[in-house]
Structure 1
Amino acid sequence: MKRALLGVFLFAWVILSAFSPAAVAQDTIKVGFFAPITGPAAADGASAKHAVDLAVKEVNDAGGIRGKKVELIVYDDRLNPQEAVAIANKLIEKDKVVGVVSGSYSGPTRVAAPIFQKAGMPMVAGYAVHPDVTWDPKQRKPNDYCFRNGFLGEIEGAAAAEFAVKNLKAKKISLIYMDNDFGRAISAGFAERAEKLGATILTKQMYRFPGEKDFRPFLTRIKEGNPDLIFAAGYYNEAASIV
């Protein structure tokens, strides 16, 4: 996340002179940030914000960018894609930021990305895994202004499968994953790679998110298959309940 914010700072430095006179005349360089500060993903949102705050402090303590301090404009998307759309428009139209960091998940980030792309506003996603964060599915080409600081979900899942099959020697595997961009992407990448490596996927079970509280039916079905390994793609609250 820290590197993501610094990437936006570099964009701000390079393109500052190309912005409108009003933006250049501002006393500070405004960088937008949105994340789930409250709600079911608040811990991840807080972690992302702490990292960004640290990066802002380091840059400002070093003299800022071209003598100007960085001002962070923070919004809470509450893990709500509709909220992220409103935030994206506010950052562009009201706050006049020069770049944006997403500390949010794929759902909010990928609906905000086209707005930033259309406005020519640089955005870096800290850890959103969905392809559409940096890819325009309609134009079928990469976005010019949207970037990510992590891997695609399918790639992360495939890497986990490599470890599961090659290192842990798992031959029979059960999957349990959440019903959102993260869960579907990670588990799809895992299943595809695991099967190519010769493993058998016994079950694929998807649970609702947010809201799932009782994982006993899922785990009962997994137990019946007697797998060598369980691959669970979820966030910390759900993972704790499954464990």
Structure 2
Amino acid sequence: MALLKDIVSYCDQRLDSSAFDDYCPNGLQIEGAAEVSSIVSGVTASQAMIDAAADVGADMLLVHHGYFWKGEAAPLVGIKGRRVKALMRHDLSLVAYHLPLDAHPELGNNHQLGIKLGFGTGTPAGGLLWGVELARPLTSEDLASRVDSALGRAPLVVGPQGSVRRIAWCTGAAQGMIEQAAAAGFDAFISGEISEQTVHQAAELGILYLSAGHHATERYGVQALGAELADRFAVAHQFIDIDNPV
């Protein structure tokens, strides 16, 4: 058993959340029980995620995609109202970290994705972009197969096929960073989503692009943070994957 305020304070400091000008508030978004014995982590605080956490008796739900995004309507009505009502009914705290959990050099989504893909730790390549130079090149088919095997999701592959050695990645909806990846001299770029223009950019920039899924690429930072909290505060932790094909 640990105090909610101590867990949140630790997360805020560990992720340096105050350093980020984000699209949403990071940290404690909905306050539930003052004491925590069980944490459930997940990617997005959907209704299904809340229900799953409540079903296993969690006191705290730790996610990457929480609530109160800039530009969204403020009233707690409709889907938003039902979600908040469910959290409060179950005395379930919602704790969310967006950009801080993308960027962290150890626990972050980008660092963790590199490990998951077998690239080791990788290195930051500017902003949220990470990259690696392989000792031996891969074919574009082998790279796609590696992503499929690691994430359980076949990527959509566009751009010039062939041999790649310098590979960059950024999780989630970072397809717009393809120009940065190409300018930095990478042969391939992996992200979550793809836009209509990404197909043309990949062809014209001469860089292979793999769209591996927003959800699929962002499952790993929150798991790493949850596991660290479990160890530090002696609480239970489990990751619940509410699948999303996007």
TM-score of the aligned structures, taking structure 1 as reference length: 0.30
Structure with the bigger percentage of helix: 1
Higher relative CO (Cα under 8 Å, sequence separation at least 6) belongs to 2
Structure with the bigger percentage of strand: 2
